[in-house]
Each structure stands twice: as structure tokens, then as C-alpha cells.
Structure 1
Amino acid sequence: MAERQEVFLRARDRTFTAFSADDESQWKGPFYFIQGADPQFGLMKAWSVGDPDKGGDEWDQEIRLTEEAVQAVNKLNPKPKFFVLCGDLVHAMPGEKWREGQEQDLKNTLKKIDQGIPMVFVSGNHDIGNTPTPETIAAYCRSWGDDYFSFWVGGVFFLVLNSQLFFDFSKCPELKEAHDKWLNEQLAIAKQKWCKHAIVFQHIPLFLKNVNEDHDYFNIERSLRQDLLERFNKAGIKAVFSGHYHRNAGGSHNGLDMVVSSAIGCQLGEDTHGLRAVIVTAEKIIHKYYSLTELNNQGIEKELMDLIKQK
């Protein structure tokens, strides 16, 4: 069991040990990965009873949906390079009653993923708290790996950020400072253009539809948003993938795509439970959201998969 659990502890020392930078820093041709978000075990019950903050003592529906997601990913041929979950792995906040059970059930479900498909985990507000502390972040890191890190795959540079430090760092200012220093260093690497593309994963979107939209619970505060966008643009970041909204959304700004994916679990809009396939070619990044049923029954359509075969 300990050996299997190590699958979820690969982000260490600010890198992702499933991939070697020495082996993966050069472009090797098109590839794809799968992005999911918000399995959030417990939210569907909490939402149905009208108590999203405190409810959530059942999560059988989320287990079933996450099993569907795992089955769909395991069927894909060729295999995706990795499967990234963009936060809110479980619903119970740190220290709450059902937290341990939700985390264990999620791990048990995700352990069924093909061992050749690494899992990449991104921290969300329910994973480390709306106002994270050194203790809640440390607990997350023990369960799922580092809360922020970078890695290379096939000549593409990926940054995994802790977006809750953008939202409220009042109880962990030193950790926010360390995150900012690290991010500046990573953006400097991306700016040197050694990578074919640079891509960011974070839980909270920079914006949902328009770069000038008002700040609310589901996006980054406007002044910080503008600062991050400017820094990302200067570094050549091509896309930011996130979750949090439980609906599909997104837009573009100065060549940067903001991609907001709906949830594996509870839907707050009209979208279906699903996953996003992301195809990376030499020229561009193409993505499409699939319902779990579509992906399980039909897979990714041939036109997109053919892009991976192009050299």
C-alpha cells in the first residue's frame, strides 16, 4: 500500500519527479494531457441540502463520477502524458469532520489510474483553506505533494501555482513571499524561450470571461490580475488552466488563453461532469472539454488525435 500511495507524493523540492528535466527539456513532437478540476468529494450533498459551507457527509456520487473519469482516461490510446487535477480535491476544509474520509476515498479511487499516467495535483481553496496557514499547507503537502512546483514535458515548461496565496495570505505572509520569489525565478526561465511553450496550472482563474471584469469569489482581484497577466505575458506564458468555477468559461488576453474547466463533481451551471483534453503542437495549444460519457464512449475525436501524430 505504501508503494502505491507514493504515486501521490511525487511533487517534491519544487519539481515533479515523474519527469526528468534532463530528459524532457527538449521538444519531441506533439503530445497531449488531460485536465480535470473539482472532484470535491462532499459538495454535491452539501449543495443539494443548501448548506455548501458545512454540509457534505456523503460523497458516493463524486466517487462514481471520479471512477468514470479514471475509466475514461485509462481507455485513451495513446496515453496522455499526464492527468492534472486543478484543485478542490475534497470539499471538507482543513480540520473539518469529514476531511480524512473524503481524502482517503479520493486516493483509493485515483489509485486505479493507469500507472503509466502520472497524476499532477494543484491545491485549491478547499484543500488548504480560504485563508491558508503554514499548518494547512503543510498538511496538504504531506497528502498530495508540494503546493507549487514546475516541471518539463517534451520541451514544454509547466508551472503549478498556489493561487490561494493570491487570494488571502494574511496568515502565512512568509510563504507568500517565498512563492513570489520562486514564481519570479520560474518566469525568468520561461522568458529565456528555451521552452516550446510555457503553461500555468492554478485553481482560481485570473478571470472568467473578460480581463476587466469585476472581482468576485471566482476570480483574482483586479490589480493583482493585471500584474500577473503582465508578468505572464512578458514571460511568454501561452495558457493558464484552472477550475474553481464549476462551469466552463475563459477568454484571451494578449495571446494568453485563460481556460476555466468545469468540474468532475458538482456542477453549478449548465455544463456536464467532464474533463478537458489539451493537445500541444509546435505552433499552438488546442483544447476541448468532454463530458465523462463522451470521453468514455467515444474518446477524443480522430481530428485531434491526428495532431499528436504530426512531427
Structure 2
Amino acid sequence: MSFSVILPLGTPFREGQEKDLKAALKGTDPSIPLVFVSGNHDLGNTPTPSTVEQYCREWGDDYFSFWVGGVLCLVLNSQLFFDASACPELREAQEAWLEAQLSRASSSSSTEPKPKHILIFQHIPLYLKSPDEEDDYFNLQRTVRQNLLDRFKKAGVKAVFSGHYHRNAGGCHGGLDMVVSSAIGCQLGEDTHGVRVVVVTADSVIHRYYSLEQLRARGLDEDLKKLLQA
């Protein structure tokens, strides 16, 4: 089963951008589910109950889980990690939900399946290059970052996928991949407009960033094609 993860855009031109994106998505093959991840342009750098409610009304829940082929995927509202000063109760609710999800996924139970992998999707990266890097607009604060890293590793999370940076970045520490993908639109670095393709097998999670030109000229690499056909 395939699915696409999309990070909608908003402020300060939210209304027009929402209209354009919804129009563009009408051409998507209906057999491919679309999964939306909220970010700062949707909710603001400091989200409020009002901006979260508006987002949920247009795009669905701001945090939730879903399963694909035995893989547990958790979609998080990272703006609540970044600055929840205007809506602390919403952060507390997400924290309680996340803890329950991670605890359930990492425990052995005869009534619930053990996930083959656990993947996290959130707009703001935990870090850009190293878990020890300084706080920045484009990452989460070190205290928040370390707390999440510890919890994710304990639960056996395989990878965290993020955007926000408008450049490719990330790393792998303690068996947990931090994957930061550049944008299909505005570029802030030297990467080109593109998308990240992720192939999940029973044993691994393989991801590669492709520019739109690469995809147009030659498509996916042969090894990824073979994995998708397996």
C-alpha cells in the first residue's frame, strides 16, 4: 500500500494556498491515501486553540496514528513541542496520547500486533545534524529534543520524518534515523525541488530524495523498483 505525506501551507496566505492545494490534490489517484502533517504555516509558531481548530476543520486531526502493512505510523503536531504557551492543555493532551501509543507499541500483547517498524512524522525536526546541536528556529529545543529521542528509542522507533528546514539534512544516532527533507516548492539551500521516496520492507526503511527532474528523466532507481515489486 502506498500513501503520500503532505505538509499544507498557510499563513499569511492561508485561504488562497488551501484552495490551490485542494485543487491540485483532486488529480491524485484516489487509491493513494493522503496523510497531512501540520506545521508552523498552518498553526503559527505559537499555536492557539483557534488555529488548531481551524486546521483540524480543513485537514483532519493534528495528531493521530495509522497502520500500513504492519507498520505503525504516528503523526505529531510538533508546534506543540516548539511553543505551546498559548495552548498548554493541547500539548498535555498530545503528550498523554503519545505516551500511550509508544507504551502500547513497545509492549508485548496477545491482543495487539507488534509493529514491524514504528515511524514518526512531524513538521519540525528533532535536530538538523546532531542531537547535541544548539537550539535553532529549525529544530526543537534540546530539552524537548532529548526527551523525545529517549522515548522514541525506548519504544523502538525506526525513523522520524520532518520538513520545515527547506533543505535536506538529518542523521542517524542510536539506531534512530532523523530524516529532514527539502521542499517541493521554496528552497532555502542548494537542494532542488523534489520529494523523498520511502520504501519499507520487513527488515529496513530505505529513503532517497529525488529532484523532480530526476523523476521526470529516469524515475526511481532500479533497486527501489525491485523492492516495490517484491
Name the TM tier (shorter chain): over 0.9
- Cα distance in 2 between the residues matched to 1:183 and 1:296: 39
> Structure 1: which 5+ residue stretches go unaligned?
1-79
How large is the RMSD of aligned CA atoms in angstroms?
Answer: 1.1
1:207 corresponds to which residue? 127
Residue 81 (structure 1) aligned with residue 2 (structure 2): yes
Letter paired with 1:261: S
Separation in 1, partners of 2:225, 2:116: 20
Task: State whether residues 190 and 237 of structure 1, in contact with CA within 8 Å, keep that contact through their aligned partners in structure 2.
Answer: no
Q: What residue number does 1:112 align with? A: 27
Kindly state the Cα deviation for residue 91 of structure 1 after the two structures are TM-superposed: 4.3
Q: CA deviation at 1:111?
A: 1.3
Structure ranking higher on relative contact order (CA contacts 8 Å, 6+ apart): 1
Q: TM-score normalised to the size of structure 1?
A: 0.71
Residues in 2 aligned to 1:277 and 1:101: alpha-carbon distance in whole angstroms: 28
Q: Partner residue of 2:225?
A: 305
* Residues 1:92 and 2:92 are matched in the alignment: no
Structure 2 gap ranges (5+) = 109-113
Question: Hey, which bits of structure 1, 4+ residues long, moved more than 6 A?
Answer: none
With normalisation by structure 2, the TM-score equals 0.95
Are residue 257 (structure 1) and residue 174 (structure 2) matched?
no
Identical amino acids, percent of aligned pairs: 64
Q: Which amino acid aligns with 2:87?
A: C
The equivalent of 2:60 in structure 1 is 145
Which one of the candidate residues 27, 41, 44 is aligned to 1:129?
Answer: 44
Moved more, 261-270 or 106-115: 106-115
Deviates more, 1:117-126 or 1:290-299: 290-299
- Conserved? CA contact 2:11–2:44, under 8 Å: no
Whole-angstrom CA distance in 2 between matches of 1:92 and 1:202:
18
Displacement of 1:192 in angstroms is 2.4
Return the offset for 1:149. Answer: 0.2
Q: Does 1:276 align with 2:203?
A: no
Does residue 166 (structure 1) correspond to residue 77 (structure 2)? The answer is: no
**1:174-193 equivalences in 2 (<5 Å):** 174-192=89-107
1:246 and 1:266 in contact (8 A); partners too: yes
Q: How many residues align?
A: 225
Distance 2:144 2:52 in 1: 22
Paired letter, 2:162: S
